[in-house]
Structure 1
Amino acid sequence: MRIWRHQRQPDLSGSRLIPGVKSVEPPVNRLILAVISVLAAVALGAAVLGLQVSQFLNSALAIPDDSVVFEIPAGSAFASISRDLAGHGYIEHPGWFRWYARLTDQAAAVHAGEYLIDAGTTPRQLLQMFVDGDVALYSFTIVEGWTFRHLITALIENDTVDVSIDYEDWPAILNSFAAAAQHPEGLFLPETYRYPKGTTGVDILRQAFTLMQETLAAEWQERDQNLPITSPYEALILASIVEKETALAAERPRIAGVFTRRLQQRMRLQTDPTVIYGIGVDFNGNLTRRDLRTDTPYNTYTRGGLPPTPIALPGRAAINAALQPAAGSALYFVASGLGDGSHKFSDTKAEHDIAVREYLRRQRASRDNARGQ
């Protein structure tokens, strides 16, 4: 009789190590591990690079002084701009700067011009300056009392202004501005104008012309009533005479008052600056009695009323004085001779003659003192 013994089945639920035999992992597992390792390395590298780029974008540029001027020529590619910045030593990583500009879609939005870069500016801020067109601005001041000829000369001598005009071009300039006046004198407001390098002289003249028209129109609306002038242009003429007669702000309305009353009484203005303007470039600085007797359209000793055009560029204060003159009774004035630019005002010719003699006495005393020293 056979006795059957139960045989234990092998345990297939797990694996057992067989002595002397290495376990073998499936190829798929090794590939996954390799991919994970590569991705982790890439992620770590990207994180490190991102941190470095962020630090670069938010760290101050290497500006050697308090500020530098950097110019972007018209038509420059951003790669060229980045290289120039690196060439000057302002940025260390031009590639990062270029990459950031392109990634943020700003590389094609920069503006040409000169930029004033202050110490402490970061690459991120610099790019924003380029995109905003926050270019360096220069200043040009038109001085009260200049003539148009002085103005043109000053523009030509300014190397930050692109000037291709000269004094003789004024008819074409006025025509381009659609100016009603037939002469350029007095039409440009004395003021300080700010502009980027390369601005043309005509552009600055256009700004000054426009501002003068606006100022004159506003002052004309606020003018006193019963003035002897009948148009804004006549006001400009009178203001230019006031401008040339005194540099003292407090005296402008008083001098305008004298001229207003003389015009109302049909007296000749008899003002030296108009005579000098009529002499023109031939004036040698010495006004003689012969000059006062020589008739020109601008000689207010030989002709009544206002001269045909302004004789200078009047400022806002002179325009205001001409249209709102001070009340009073004075019909004459002469320099006081005190050395402060002030004048002596008189109601009558007799009083004026005394003031003139006093002025001459002071002038002689001043010359004698100078010789004695």
Structure 2
Amino acid sequence: MDQNTTTPKRKRKEKSILMPSLIALLLFLFVSFSYYAYQIVYTPNVDTKDRDTFVTIPTGATYEQAMDSIEASGAIIDKLSLRFMSKLMDYDELVKPGRYKLEHGWGNRQVIGVLRVGQQTPVNLTFTNIRLRNQLAAKLATEIEATEEELDSLLNDDAYLATLGFDTTTIVSMFIPNTYQVYWTTTAPELMARMKTEYDKFWTAERKAKAEQLGLTPNQVSTLASIVQAETIKNDEKPRVAGVYLNRLQKGMRLEADPTVVFAVRDFTIRRVLNVHLQHDSPYNTYRYAGLPPGPINVPNISSIDAVLNPEQHKYIYFCAKEDFSGYHSFAVTHSEHIANARRYQQALTARNIMK
């Protein structure tokens, strides 16, 4: 008998030995795979190190560009597992643009889940200390995907602005300084429409009635408010300054507001308005032209607008900065009183060697 021939009995014995080993191996592999799968899905894979971390994915970005943006955030612990999970969840077919906040402790499933449905984190849009349209476009472009060029194009398009009830000289008054939540993917036309909606909400029936009592349109109120804002940073003084200019308008006097001259000259470094500046020919130069200028000289905030709508009732016609440089002003009813106040301020400027 051939000794190399395996008997059926021996085969059954070998099979009975191999089966438990194979089952044990398969069980080990199953447990190992399950544990790894659990880690891929649920184990925290985002470390923001106590800082807000955002991922921005531009419109039209490919899967690889999106993954590069996510990894560039520096918050992903295991990049390989994230990519594995993204493929399992078909993220390569579902890339959506937007700005997304990564939360500390998120697992891969949470990260990809938010990205694939486009669950953006809103942007808190704010704008202050804006004078010119191009400055406004530049500021807005830092907050949303729309470019400065796209925004600037709309802000300079008279035909388009007319559909909103504005023109290039008044459009900045449509932007009421506040904090607005918008999505990063908001387009330039969408943002303009949103700001028009917010403007209409701001100009309530009560505010419109107050403007009408003053003989002003909302745009004119914003124009005067921009002058008041340029004159004083003190909110408690704004109604008094507004009262001065309204008194001048009612008397048919020129406003003679220094900030309008600075705006006309376009030299915002001027600290001391001189005769040479007063001669500059511009409709914004309220020393040469009576009434309000064509439009706002900055984007007036709510406190400035409400100061014009609720002015202090007084007889002051003049004011100038106090010589103590406190930011407040000295007010006068007569020209002689004003000259005395102005002389003290001019002397203080000279003492500090402020010549322009």
Q: By the TM > 0.5 criterion, same fold?
A: yes
* Cα distance in 2 between the residues matched to 1:257 and 1:305: 15
Among residues 309, 316, 339, which one is paired with 1:330 in the alignment?
316
CA RMSD, 1 decimal:
4.6
Shift of 1:271: 1.2
* Cα distance in 2 between the residues matched to 1:76 and 1:316: 43
Among residues 153, 157, 179, which one is paired with 1:172 in the alignment?
157
Partner of 1:49: 33
What does 1:78-227 align with in structure 2 at a 5 Å threshold? 81=67, 90-93=78-81, 96-98=84-86, 100-101=88-89, 109-135=94-120, 141-154=126-139, 162-165=147-150, 170-172=155-157, 175=160, 178-185=163-170, 186-187=172-173, 188-191=175-178, 204=191, 207-217=194-204, 220-221=207-208, 223=210, 226-227=213-214
TM-score, normalising length: structure 1 = 0.70
Partner of 2:4: none
Partner of 2:231: 245
1:101 maps to amino acid: M
TM-score, normalising length: structure 2 = 0.73
Shift of 1:270: 1.7
1:59 maps to amino acid: T
1:298-353 CA distances to partner (integer Å, 9 max, x unpaired)? 33233332222222211111111111112223221111122222111122222222
Go from structure 1 to structure 2 and tell me whether the alpha carbon gap of 1:295 and 1:136 turns closer, same or farther (over 3 Å shift): same
Residues 145 and 240 of structure 1 are in contact (CA less than 8 Å); yes or no, is this contact kept in structure 2?
Answer: no
Residue 349 of structure 2 corresponds to residue 363 of structure 1: yes
* Cα distance in 2 between the residues matched to 1:297 and 1:79: 50
* Cα distance in 1 between the residues matched to 2:163 and 2:125: 24
1:228 maps to amino acid: G
* Cα distance in 2 between the residues matched to 1:72 and 1:359: 54
Number of corresponding residues: 340
Deviates most, 350-359 or 142-151: 142-151
What does 1:218-297 align with in structure 2 at a 5 Å threshold? 220-221=207-208, 223=210, 226-229=213-216, 231-277=217-263, 279-281=264-266, 285=270, 287-293=273-279, 296-297=282-283
1:252-293 CA distances to partner (integer Å, 9 max, x unpaired)? 11111111222223332221222333x344788363324435
SS in 2 for 1:164: helix
Residues 85 and 94 of structure 1 are in contact (CA less than 8 Å); yes or no, is this contact kept in structure 2?
Answer: no
Shift of 1:109: 4.8
Go from structure 1 to structure 2 and tell me whether the alpha carbon gap of 1:262 and 1:202 turns closer, same or farther (over 3 Å shift): same
Partner of 2:286: 300
* Cα distance in 2 between the residues matched to 1:72 and 1:226: 50
1:49 maps to amino acid: F
- Structure 2: gaps (5+ residues): 1-6
1:61-112 CA distances to partner (integer Å, 9 max, x unpaired)? 2759666655556364599849x8699863343575146525xxx7755523
* Higher Rg of the two aligned structures: 1
- Structure 1: gaps (5+ residues): 1-21
Q: Percent identity?
A: 25
Residue 331 of structure 2 corresponds to residue 345 of structure 1: yes
